[in-house]
């Protein structure tokens, strides 16, 4: 079995991908309608590609967050909506790790797990999926979050010009 996993190239790792969508709206009703349309479009687009995709309900989303905050899998997720009212707890009480420690600027400790976070900002007219594929092909526990926001082309050009203006300029002269 292990040889089969190595042959597949995944070394027994399970990769799960989630997409979360956010919208700005003037009301909860408007936001729900827009999110439902986006959800239907995304699921249909995946279906066309032959990929099975579905929405998670509230408990399933909490279970995903619990798994993120307890990566060792030592704590079982136990949750019941009725218990919220009875205990006065919030959903955060069911998913939070035993502790967070941000003692230095490079790493953090979440319960017994040590991690690090990196940030990359890419301002580009289009992105290849090659970089994401390289991240996801690593044989270790990696969580990749992409926050993608489309912006108007004029605003994008202004943002790029502001970014370029912030870089120091060096002039090198050949004195021969």
Residue 6's domain comprises: 2-18+56-164
Would 40 be classed as within a structural domain?
Answer: no
pLDDT in 10s for each residue of the chain, 176 residues:
445 544 555 556 667 788 888 888 999 999 999 999 999 999 999 899 898 889 999 999 999 999 888 887 778 898 999 988 899 999 999 998 888 888 887 888 888 888 888 877 776 666 777 877 787 777 767 777 777 777 777 887 787 777 766 665 555 555 54
What dihedral angle (degrees, nearest 10) is formed by the CA atoms of 104, 109, 110, 112? Answer: -170
Largest CA distance in the chain: 83
Per DSSP (E only), the strands in 57-151 are: 100-101, 108-110, 113-115
Would 31 be classed as within a structural domain?
Answer: no
Contact status, residue 65 vs residue 59, Cβ threshold 8 Å? no
Would 101 be classed as within a structural domain?
Answer: yes
pTM of the predicted structure, to 2 decimals: 0.66
Would 34 be classed as within a structural domain?
Answer: no
Would 32 be classed as within a structural domain?
Answer: no
**Cα separation, 63 vs 56, whole angstroms:** 10
**Cα separation, 160 vs 158, whole angstroms:** 5
Tally of domains within the chain? 1
Would 26 be classed as within a structural domain?
Answer: no
Would 150 be classed as within a structural domain?
Answer: yes
């Amino acid at each position: 079995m292990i040889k089969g996993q190595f042959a597949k190239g995944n070394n027994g790792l399970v990769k799960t991908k989630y997409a979360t969508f956010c919208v700005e709206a003037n009301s909860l009703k408007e936001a729900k309608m827009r999110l439902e349309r986006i959800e239907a479009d995304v699921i249909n687009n995946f279906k066309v590609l032959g990929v099975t995709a579905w929405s998670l309900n509230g408990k399933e989303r909490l279970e995903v967050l619990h798994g993120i905050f307890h990566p060792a899998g030592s704590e079982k997720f136990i949750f019941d909506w009725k218990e919220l009212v009875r205990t006065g707890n919030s959903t955060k009480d069911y998913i939070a790790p035993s502790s967070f420690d941000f003692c230095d600027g490079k790493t953090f400790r979440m319960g017994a797990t040590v991690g690090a976070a990196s940030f990359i900002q890419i301002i580009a007219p289009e992105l290849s999926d090659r970089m994401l594929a390289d991240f996801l092909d690593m044989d270790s526990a990696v969580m990749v979050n992409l926050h993608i926001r489309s912006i108007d082309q004029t605003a994008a050009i202004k943002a790029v010009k502001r970014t370029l203006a912030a870089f120091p300029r060096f002039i090198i002269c050949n004195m021969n």
